[in-house]
Structure 1
Amino acid sequence: MLLTIDVGNTNMVFGMFQEERLTGSFRLMTDAARTSDEIGLMLCMYLQRFGLRTEDVEDVIVASVVPQVMHSLSNAISRYLGKTPIVVDDGVDPGLPYGVSGDERLGADRSVACIAAMEKYGRPLVVLDFGTATTVDAVDREGRYMGGCILAGVRIATEALFRQTAMLPKVELVRPDRVLGYTAVGQIQAGAVEGYIGAVEHLIGKAKEELGEPGARVVATGGLARLIADGTSLIDVVDSGLVLDGLAIIYRRHKDRR
């Protein structure tokens, strides 16, 4: 069994693959203060929940955008699973060619998502990841990364509104029935969700324009992808397991090269 781990700013998502099939997944909150023993014991508990043993884990591959947790996570994997994790951009190159100049590397999760989207949905592509931040990435017909953009996630935006205003309440992120709301809660939800959909639609349109591919397929992933995708016709596919699938794809290619 292959264990894949996507370490994001809010959550660490663990996925178990048998051959090429995702058979189970679970999440832990990303916390830099968490010890390796805490992570290891929770990992063992979840594996047991799926009827698996630590001995069933043949290898581990990780994509992380939170360096602060990697020491504890790596120690937990070593101590409780007896494995040294393969880390994207450290132990293995994701294999995403760049069609833009510059020395700056794309975040591991974004590279992995692009690799998975190409493998599963072809190219050209616009790939969106709705997480703590929302990222937009473009891949051309040759499979080259052509740039992207980053904006604050919709949850961050509403949290900032709640913290920086005296009388506006904290609200649940749901799409309201109308933009012209009757209550403060409804109005905030309309502005946050419908306004965010509008921003995303604009970015998709500009990305396709700059890519020169008006028919590029748009793939979305991340915890809030479905909320936004339900409000627009510009997102073609919502794939919640895109990064985990990408990790499995990169692992298989890495293993074949070895």
Structure 2
Amino acid sequence: MYLLLDIGNTREKAALFSAGTLSPLPELSADRLQRLPVKAVYFACVASDRRLNDLKVSLGLDHLPWHQVSSQAHAFGVTNCYEQPQLLGVDRWLALLGAQQLFARRSLMIVDAGTALTIDWLDEAGMHQGGWIMPGLRLQQQSVVQQTAKVFNRELLEAKIIPGIDTVSCLQNGCLAAVIGAIRQGWSLNQAEQLILTGGDALYLKPQLADLALTTEPLLIFQGLARYIDP
């Protein structure tokens, strides 16, 4: 069994990989992990070395091998289009690897709907065709609220693609329309055989894209990370 980690600056996401099967790990606690037969940790990290070391100690796993994965020019039949491949965000790189494994020899549009919304295209030969980065649904809303004096929001997200009738619905509906509009524009610009949706807002956005060739893959990044495991 292997522990897979996606380590951000403020939080970590985790999954377990055993006998070819991925399973999410919603609670990352030392008590639980120390009862599991974890052989090694494979991780992607955008946080500082200090945060990484603190995590190793707090999880009680500093005695295990830790293998960091970074973006590459080429791996597992996927070719990175960046001139400086190491500058492609590792989450995007792992999403490309996961998508190519799940949908081999198909042209793909991969949408990761998290804090940032990223869109990447991968052709049937595994060539990365480039992508977009933009603020995600909640980040757009936060930006408007923080930069204006009389626009406010609420925690509950109830956006719809219709005109708003008060400040909150105008803000939420407008940001949803911007995100969905960007995804649809991307689909029209470089239509693929399959649209793959992942990230924290994936299930919220899915109903707005139901007419497209859409699948949701919540563990897509971990699917890519698991390809690096060397049993």
Unaligned segments of structure 2, at least 5 residues: none
Indicate conservation of the 8 Å contact 2:56/2:62, yes or no.
Answer: no
TM-score between both structures, scaled by the size of structure 1: 0.77
Q: Of 113, 118, 121, which aligns to 2:95?
A: 113
> 1:1-258 maps to which residues of 2 (within 5 A)?
1-26=1-26, 43-47=29-33, 53-54=35-36, 56-67=37-48, 69-76=51-58, 79-89=60-70, 95=76, 97-98=78-79, 100=81, 102-105=83-86, 106-122=88-104, 123-172=106-155, 174-177=157-160, 179-206=162-189, 208=190, 214-232=191-209, 233-234=211-212, 236-251=214-229, 254-255=230-231
Provide the rounded CA distance (Å) in 2 between the counterparts of 1:158 and 1:140. 33
TM-score between both structures, scaled by the size of structure 2: 0.85
Indicate conservation of the 8 Å contact 1:175/1:194, yes or no.
Answer: no
Residue 234 (structure 1) shift:
3.1
Indicate conservation of the 8 Å contact 1:61/1:86, yes or no.
Answer: yes
Residue 83 (structure 1) shift:
0.8
Indicate conservation of the 8 Å contact 1:174/1:193, yes or no.
Answer: no
Provide the rounded CA distance (Å) in 1 between the counterparts of 2:158 and 2:216. 17
Provide the rounded CA distance (Å) in 1 between the counterparts of 2:80 and 2:5. 28
Provide the rounded CA distance (Å) in 2 between the counterparts of 1:9 and 1:133. 14
Inter-CA distance 215–243: structure 2 relative to 1 (3 Å threshold): closer
Indicate conservation of the 8 Å contact 1:175/1:227, yes or no.
Answer: no
Residue 236 (structure 1) shift:
0.7
Inter-CA distance 158–177: structure 2 relative to 1 (3 Å threshold): closer
**Count, aligned residues:** 226
Indicate conservation of the 8 Å contact 2:4/2:222, yes or no.
Answer: yes
Provide the rounded CA distance (Å) in 1 between the counterparts of 2:151 and 2:101. 44
Residue 4 (structure 1) shift:
0.3
The residue matched to 1:22 in structure 2 has which SS?
strand
Inter-CA distance 95–53: structure 2 relative to 1 (3 Å threshold): same
1:33 aligned residue: none
Residue 167 (structure 1) shift:
1.9
Provide the rounded CA distance (Å) in 1 between the counterparts of 2:80 and 2:225. 22
The residue matched to 1:161 in structure 2 has which SS?
helix
The residue matched to 2:151 in structure 1 has which SS?
coil
Inter-CA distance 97–238: structure 2 relative to 1 (3 Å threshold): closer
Unaligned segments of structure 1, at least 5 residues: 28-41, 209-213
Provide the rounded CA distance (Å) in 2 between the counterparts of 1:245 and 1:16. 11
Provide the rounded CA distance (Å) in 2 between the counterparts of 1:23 and 1:61. 14
Residue 175 (structure 1) shift:
4.6
Inter-CA distance 22–110: structure 2 relative to 1 (3 Å threshold): same
The residue matched to 2:221 in structure 1 has which SS?
helix
